[in-house]
Amino acid sequence: MAEQHGFRRVLVTGGAGFIGSHLCRRLLAEGCEVLCFDNLLTGHMSNIDELLGRPDFSFEHYDVTNYLYVDGPLDAILHFASPASPADFERLPIQILKVGSLGTHKALGLAKAKGARFLLASTSECYGDPEVNPQPETYLGRVNPVGIRGVYDEAKRFAEAMTMAYHRHHGVEARIVRIFNTFGPRMQIDDGRAIPNFMTKAILGEDVVVYGDGSQTRSIQFVDDLVEGIWRLLRSDYVGPMNIGSQAEISMADLARTIIRITESRSELVFGPLPADDPKVRRADNTLAREILGWEPQVPPEEGLRMTADYFRKALADRGST
Ligand code: NAD
Ligand code: UDP
């Protein structure tokens, strides 16, 4: 099967994380041999446990900010290593800056050496707290470089710049996906992002805390849709950033209410302080992905949230919390 698309041997950095673990499975299903490098900073072996015995999968406990060595050929590198939850922006600021800068540099150097295609996991955070809504790829963003979110936003913006420099200067085949808020099974209970927090509190029947007045918006997509978009982008000829995200915008208060309803919870909605620089609106303009990749989200948000709630119920029960 790998002969059809040419990606026989693929490295996924951050492959033991939430998105990375879904990506590894998809690449294996497409017939690729998958090498997963992860230092387990925010990822977990439980995300990839069931893959470990396979002859076409290998895991290396590795910090990708260090020199990267891979024996043998590589056809693609998907660089997904990086903490991604705003809760980690204050906890792990240096690690985030290092993996976005040094880690991206090392992964690009390896791509150049191997003649491999390079796909960068970038983010809608590149748009910062945007003045235009929805955000097309041409919008240059409004980021506070010295704010608490700056460590993540600027690391990713640097990573994009470095990726394009390797493309222009060294001819590395580059793809950049700007990922909008994605959720699904294998997000961690203590991840700190809105959906894991809302799910956990709702299932436990505790107060669900919405930051600010809850009017800030995001567009959310189920992880399977994202992975489909990434797979299509990897195989496409399109160079330069591409948004993969839903156009359906929801306020955080409505998202919390939806999660309380679908989990049949008796939790109350309460309000807490809004973190600095929290974007007031965010919504993907996914015209490019629709036109170039023929991609659009297939999983209705409520269906995805129900599948995710099933996962969180089990994860909480396994932890002995319910
Ligand atoms: P995650 O925290 O679950 O996964 C990140 C993985 O990277 C973890 O397994 C972690 O251990 C690993 N990692 C971190 N630093 C590393 C290092 N120096 N060396 C090796 N491994 C390292 O987060 P996620 O939500 O799966 O995000 C994956 C990627 O997608 C990130 O690059 C993130 O910026 C990007 N992204 C995610 C979203 C989203 O909504 N989930 C949105 C935009 C962008
Ligand atoms: N948020 C919230 N309660 C929480 C966690 C997050 O109200 O327990 C808000 C957060 O302030 C932001 C939105 O939900 O406005 C989405 O936050 P998330 O951490 O999921 O990701 P972001 O899109 O901000 O990177």
185 CB less than 6 Å from ligand 1?
no
65 CB less than 6 Å from ligand 1?
yes
Rounded to an integer, what distance in angstroms lies between the CA atom of residue 166 and that of residue 159? 11
Task: Report which secondary-structure segment, H or E, holds 195.
Answer: helix 194-204
Does the annotation mark 127 as catalytic?
no
Helices (H), 32-118: 86-91, 93-98, 104-114
pLDDT tens, residue by residue, 12-46: 999 999 999 999 999 999 999 999 999 999 999 99
203 CB less than 6 Å from ligand 2?
no
86 CB less than 6 Å from ligand 1?
no
Given a cut of 80, is residue 322 above it in pLDDT?
A: no
Q: What is the pLDDT of residue 183?
A: 98
**Catalytic one of 62, 69, 139, 152:** 152
Pocket test for ligand 2, best of 246, 277, 278 (most atoms within 8 A of CB): 278
DSSP state of 289: I
257 within domain boundaries: no
Assigned token pair, 228: 């489909």
Instruction: Kindly give the number of the ligand 1 atom that is closest to the alpha carbon of 83.
Output: 2
Contact 251, 280 (CB under 8 A): no
Given a cut of 90, is residue 125 above it in pLDDT?
A: yes
The CATH number assigned to the domain holding 107 equals 3.40.50.720
Instruction: Kindly give the number of the ligand 1 atom that is closest to the alpha carbon of 88.
Output: 2
Report which of 82, 81, 227, 105 is spatially closest to residue 160, judged by C-alpha positions: 105
Given a cut of 90, is residue 136 above it in pLDDT?
A: yes
Report which of 236, 135, 235 is spatially closest to residue 181, judged by C-alpha positions: 135
User: Does this model's pTM top 0.95?
Assistant: yes
Report which of 171, 38, 62 is spatially closest to residue 113, judged by C-alpha positions: 171
Closest Cα to atom 14, ligand 2: which residue?
Answer: 194
**CA 209 – ligand 1 centroid, Å:** 24
Domain that residue 143 falls in: 2-183+222-246+283-299
59 within domain boundaries: yes
Please state, in angstroms and as integers, the Cα–Cα distance from residue 225 to each residue in 114, 117, 202, 247, 289, following that order: 29, 22, 25, 13, 12
35 within domain boundaries: yes
Angle (CA) 68-70-72 rounded to 5° is: 155
112 within domain boundaries: yes
235 within domain boundaries: yes
192 within domain boundaries: no
Please state, in angstroms and as integers, the Cα–Cα distance from residue 174 to each residue in 52, 64, 95, 157, 239, following that order: 29, 19, 24, 15, 6
pLDDT tens, residue by residue, 238-263: 998 999 999 999 999 999 999 999 99
**CA 241 – ligand 2 centroid, Å:** 24
Closest Cα to atom 19, ligand 2: which residue?
Answer: 193
**CA 319 – ligand 1 centroid, Å:** 23
198 within domain boundaries: no
213 within domain boundaries: no
Instruction: Kindly give the number of the ligand 2 atom that is closest to the alpha carbon of 195.
Output: 20
Q: Say whether the peptide bond before residue 241 is cis (omega within 30 degrees of 0).
A: no
The rounded Cα 309 to chain-centroid distance in angstroms is 19
Angle (CA) 234-236-241 rounded to 5° is: 70
The total of structural domains in the chain comes to 1
Please state, in angstroms and as integers, the Cα–Cα distance from residue 257 to each residue in 14, 207, 254, 319, following that order: 32, 12, 5, 25
Please state, in angstroms and as integers, the Cα–Cα distance from residue 222 to each residue in 189, 214, 276, following that order: 17, 21, 27
**CA 101 – ligand 1 centroid, Å:** 14
Nearest ligand, measured from the Cα of 184: 1
Q: Percent of the chain beyond pLDDT 90?
A: 97
Q: What is the pLDDT of residue 2?
A: 83
**CA 30 – ligand 1 centroid, Å:** 22
Nearest ligand, measured from the Cα of 48: 1
pLDDT tens, residue by residue, 83-123: 999 999 999 999 999 999 999 999 999 999 999 999 999 99
Given a cut of 90, is residue 321 above it in pLDDT?
A: no
N-term to C-term CA, the chain: 43
Task: Report which secondary-structure segment, H or E, holds 156.
Answer: helix 150-170
